[in-house]
Amino acid sequence: MRAATTGMFAYSTVLVAARGLPVLALMYASLRLEPAAFGAVAVFVMGLTTANLIVDGGFDAAATYLLSRAATESSSEHSAQALRTIKIAISSCAVVVVALTSGNVLGFEPVPLVMVTIATVVATAFTARNSALRILARVRGSRERVSLIAEKGASSLVFTAVVILSDSARIVAIGFVVATILGCLAGASPLGKLAFGLGIPMIPGMLKSALPFIVSALAAAGVWRAATFVLAANGNLVEAGYLSLAYYPIQLLSSVPVFAAPLMLIKGSRYETDLARSIRTSVGVGMALFIVLATAALVVARFVPTRFVDQHTLIVMLILSLALPFLFLNPLLTAKLRVESRLWAPSLIHAVALILSVLAILRIVPSSGAVGAATIIVTTEIVILLGLLIITQFLQHDRSRK
């Protein structure tokens, strides 16, 4: 089996560029819709993508780890089948709950809400199927990026067209679901087919292996997204919209190391020099992006008319940009610990950080809004970094004593 050999950051930058297309479409929607309407759409979109994000973040990293170590091509096929079965089952169940909850925010009547939920499950199943095949393509070093670009490009074009044609929050939300389905159909072609099979014998092992990765993915989603749902639950859709609008560009930029980290699991400890270089590069890139983004925000706030950009969103984005250096370093430190067979160590840190973050969000965000949420997010990322550094230093000291 041929492992991917593309440079980690060049590889992940292409994936981030592909995922940036839906973000641009969503940002355009913020210009078309009223603040409260956009907030409702943002909560709906974030709810659906969060369900997929948790499943993807957990199982993708675990599957990359397992597939790259599969003894034969046949065993990798069976692992991919098991991944497909797990992702479709879990993400479809999760998205039903999320769709029903988020749909209520948009004020759907019962029958339309059920129809939207069914369509959302279909979109989620297609997304899970493509995602499983892209993991297999990642390990083989072929066509993952082509598929993702086709999927996100097609869905973004459809979603943008819906936003151009309508300023109704409900129609825009439905358009997002339809765009996701059409995008998945476009992204399926470059991937080919995976032999029919549920991969049942592989499922228990994959579930066990994925658990620490899922804990980390759940923590990451919770730290960055919980505040949006808290604001929406308190009826503050405008602030929820501001936070999500500021959130997506930061998360998009920070996805470079997130996508690069699974390649470390493929390459393993044989590439220690490359790993060390990637970690050093992460710090520099994160700092550079913070400087660029902060400068751009200040320039936009000074020279761009307020009818094109909301000043409150810029303030929130400026605060969130402080997290960029940590967002670039934390995923790679996490992957480094896991390459060294410390699968649970970073997950425990992420879990503790999530608990502290949620407690702070519940206490502070209802009164302080998006600015308070952004401050909590940045502080939590610093806590995660300190925890990862302490464990890394402890393990190095322990090895030196032996």
Digit-coded pLDDT (tens) for 82-110: 777 877 777 777 777 777 777 777 778 87
Q: Is residue 134 part of a domain?
A: yes
Query: Residue 283: which residues within 8 A CB-CB, separation 6 or more?
Result: 325, 328, 329
Instruction: Render 276-338 in DSSP notation, one character per residue.
Output: HHHHHHHHHHHHHHHHHHHHHHHHHHHHS-TTTS-HHHHHHHHHHHTTHHHHHHHHHHHHHHH
Task: Please say whether the beta carbons of 255 and 15 come within 8 A.
Answer: yes
Question: What are the pLDDT digits (tens) for 314-369?
Answer: 889 889 999 988 888 888 788 778 777 677 889 999 999 999 999 999 999 999 99
Rg, Å, the chain Cα set? 20
Domain that holds residue 32: 8-401
Higher-confidence residue of 31 and 206: namely: 31
Question: What are the pLDDT digits (tens) for 217-266?
Answer: 888 888 998 999 899 888 898 999 889 888 888 877 776 655 555 555 55
Reported as a pLDDT band with limits 50, 70 and 90, residue 4 is very low
Residue 313 confidence (pLDDT) above 80: yes
- Residue-level pLDDT at 2: 40
Q: Is residue 189 part of a domain?
A: yes
Q: Is residue 64 part of a domain?
A: yes
Q: CA-CA distance, 59 to 71, in Å (whole number)?
A: 20
- Range in 76-85, 133-142, 151-160, 169-178 the model is least confident about: 133-142
Q: Is residue 160 part of a domain?
A: yes
- Residue-level pLDDT at 1: 38
3-state secondary structure of 234: coil
Reported as a pLDDT band with limits 50, 70 and 90, residue 197 is low
* Number of structural domains found in the chain: 1
Q: Is residue 1 part of a domain?
A: no
Higher-confidence residue of 274 and 293: namely: 293
Q: What is the mean pLDDT of residues 133-137?
A: 73
Q: Is residue 266 part of a domain?
A: yes
- Range in 134-143, 205-214, 298-307, 378-387 the model is least confident about: 134-143
Q: CA-CA distance, 188 to 350, in Å (whole number)?
A: 33
pTM: 0.78
Q: Is residue 81 part of a domain?
A: yes
Residue 163 confidence (pLDDT) above 70: yes
